[in-house]
Amino acid sequence: MIQLNDRYFEVFIKEAELQEEVSSLANKINSDYHGKDVLFLAVLNGSFMFASDLVKQINGNCEISFVKVSSYSGTISSGRVDELIGLTSSVENRHVIVLEDIVDSGLTIDKIVSLLKADNPLSVKVCTLLFKPEAFKGKQHPEYIGFSIPNSFVVGYGLDYDEKGRNLKEIYQLKEV
């Protein structure tokens, strides 16, 4: 058990299981995209470790770039405008795979995919390490899923609790007291 700030967490997915699943995702992508160039877009901050381990096992030519989602209040009274920060190259005519640490409600990934589709990519798919089926209410179901997990809070392997725990090699689950 570990402590991060005021909460306790227990190991949930061990390092070896994570690495095995990441390899299996990479193998599926290698076979599905055989002979095609892929542009990987890793969503910061949470996906940095997953993205790093995954792309090391991609065989073909690929590019990797990092994006962040931001929402800000515009001047329009209708409210929030979302944008992708860090997308420097066009996705037009590219095969894009979005790399996420976790898909929960699915709203983040819905926004990202719709912003990307506006730029006419050849294809957009989502590859997420973790997926919470019970919380999901999005339109874009991830095509590649590492682990489907229950609706509880997890940290480690890139995921944080108040910015702590991203460095952990394993995934930990919040211990309910």
Residues with catalytic function: 104
What x-and-dash track marks residues 89-128 binding Mg ion by CB under 5 A? ------------x---------------------------
What x-and-dash track marks residues 53-92 binding ligand 5GP by CB under 6 A? ----------------------------------------
Report the residue number, 39 or 159, with the smaller CB distance to Mg ion.
159
Q: Is 140 in the site for ligand 5GP (CB under 6 A)?
A: no
Handedness of CA 12, 108, 50, 45 (dihedral sign): negative
Total residues interacting with Mg ion, rule: CB under 5 A: 2
Which of 102, 116, 127, 168 forms a contact with ligand 5GP (CB under 6 A)? 102
Report the residue number, 22 or 98, with the smaller CB distance to ligand 5GP.
98
CA-nearest of 5, 27, 8, 2 to 174 is 8
Helices marked H in 33-91: 48-55
Q: Is 153 in the site for ligand 5GP (CB under 6 A)?
A: yes
Give dist(CA 172, CA 110) in Å, integer: 26
CA-nearest of 159, 176, 155 to 12 is 155
Question: Do 124 and 116 touch, CB atoms closer than 8 A?
Answer: yes
Which does residue 159 touch among ligand 5GP, Mg ion, none (CB within 5 to 8 A, set by kind)? Answer: ligand 5GP
Q: Are strands 95-103 and 80-85 parallel, antiparallel or unpaired?
A: unpaired
Question: Do 7 and 31 touch, CB atoms closer than 8 A?
Answer: no
The footprint of Mg ion (CB under 5 A) covers 46, 101
